[in-house]
Structure 1
Amino acid sequence: MRLFVMMSLGFVLGVLPVQGGLFGDAEQYVDVEEGERGFGSLFSGMAESSEAQWAWAQEKLAKKQWRSAGKVLRGLYMRWPNSVEAPAAVVAHADALMRRKEWRSAFTIYQFAVDNYANRLTDYDAVLAGQYRAAQEVMEARRLPFLFGGYRTPEMAIPLFEAVILNGPQWEGAPEALMMVGRCNQDSDAFEEAIVAYAELMLRYPEHALAESAAWGRIACLRSLREKYPSSPKILERILTATTVYLSRFPASERRGEIILLRNELYEFQARELFEQGRFYERVARNEVAALRTYVSVLELYPKSEVVSEVQGEMERLAAKGVVLSAEEAAE
């Protein structure tokens, strides 16, 4: 009997999806024509037109009533999505959320503006700038700040910065957004992903002021990878390549001296590695000819290395034992 009464009341009021409210929590879709006021709007404070709704929103914004202004603005572009005021209402809603420091929600509403009103936005660059700032705030935000100051999760901002780049590849702030993708990945120890972002920035914006910072970021990530995999010859070669590119593109850089010191360190490391290989041939493998050939390679490849005197001493000792290279071996 109770169910019959409630369903009857639903039909009387014109609210057909009563069953959803009775038997489930799913939100029911009600098809409302643009500008039409349903039963619920009698209590929502919706204005009679988009113009009136916009004026109402402006009053609330002027009073800095950001939360209620956001509700009025959302009501405008949801009820009158094709109105003249709708694009500005979406942006104003996002701006109001920024005022309330609801960075993720603001980013989402800005994206709604891009997805639905890209050709009708009066200041598209301002929307991208808003998204960029929201992404920065997400990147710098600290989780659980009451526990030892909290912790950052910069990786959460990566898809936001990537969306900014996708929305405005020619926007003047796109290089900064791409740089942030690299930094967020680097701060999250995702070094290979950071290297890709930095390399892309150097490729797409070679004349930008951030190109040098990206080149340095690439080297820094490779150095971090070398700390993790100190015996990897591939990573060492990648560092040498990256530093060569850096010096050739930015010869007057303030970091030039540091880059040269790094290359010298790698030079000595490679020389020492090859020297130790020769010792292995001599003392473990008992192959003195292979050892002598390796020592010769050290002198040829790393003539300025600090290990040269040690290499020469080993070669003299082998020569005293009668170990020599044939003409063919010496020519190899």
Structure 2
Amino acid sequence: MKFVINDNDKRTVRRFLVQHKFSSSQLHNLKNKGGQIFVNHRQRHFNFGLKTGDEVLVVLSNEKPSDLIEPMRGPVDVIFEDDYLLVINKPPGIASLPAKARDGKTMANLVKAYLIAKNENSSIHLVTRLDRDTSGLMVFAKTSYAHSLLDQILHTEDFQKFYLAMIDGQINPKQGLIDLPIGIDPQAFYRRVIDYKNGKESKTLYKTVAHYPKASLLELKLLTGRTHQIRVHLSAIGYPIIGDDMYSGKKDQRISRQALHCYNLRIVHPVTKELLNLKAPLPKDMVILKGVLRGERNG
């Protein structure tokens, strides 16, 4: 990764890297595990003095990929990619990560094979994950450094996540904030519940973007990042997502999974500072469901 020194930057390589949020372990790896630092195309050490206008190139040491995630070939729908980030559009019906070692094909397995085919670092750094039956945008970092930078902005206005969900009925008011703490269901570890005693603060903004005769399309913005947050919140206020049998308690003939899609990410790139406004179109099953909902009659 490349940097240009400006007037406000620290004046030694080590202090500059710390200023730019390299962790102690990343600095250790740079020094002791094959990393390299070039200033104006000449290799330098941590104590080298910097001046305004210097060009700094940091070549990270190779990361050893985990054997727990096996590369598996398959389609990867890339929405955005550079030296730091990979943003993909996940289809429904595939998990983000293996639940245990070598647990079938997941997006992590597919992304690892994708990176290997490009001769890139194939260590998996998952920044955002989606439930198996939720579709849409997922973010992977390409290095531990990019991962740590993204983690620092993950639940701030520099990293905004927007979803589309389809529900039966019409929420009143049409937009608002759901502020209900979420905890683990004591009866089933994989479920989440509203838990006022032990739950973690959880906030979801919602607004209605379309009405159908007996249903609605909502846009939701996550302000926190709890497991199943949107699903639990909408169920708690009486409007579970269509197809979400875990939280609605019923199967739906109109779609075979919860009608939930991460359609938009707005990220201030942690290195280039560019605003990324990334979108993924509604998948086919939700487009079909929208047509069904439009055609349903009241009464």
TM range (shorter): under 0.3
Larger CA Rg, structure 1 vs 2: 1
The TM-score with structure 1 as length reference comes to 0.21
**Higher relative contact order structure (alpha carbons within 8 Å, sequence separation ≥ 6):** 2
Higher strand share: 2
The TM-score with structure 2 as length reference comes to 0.23
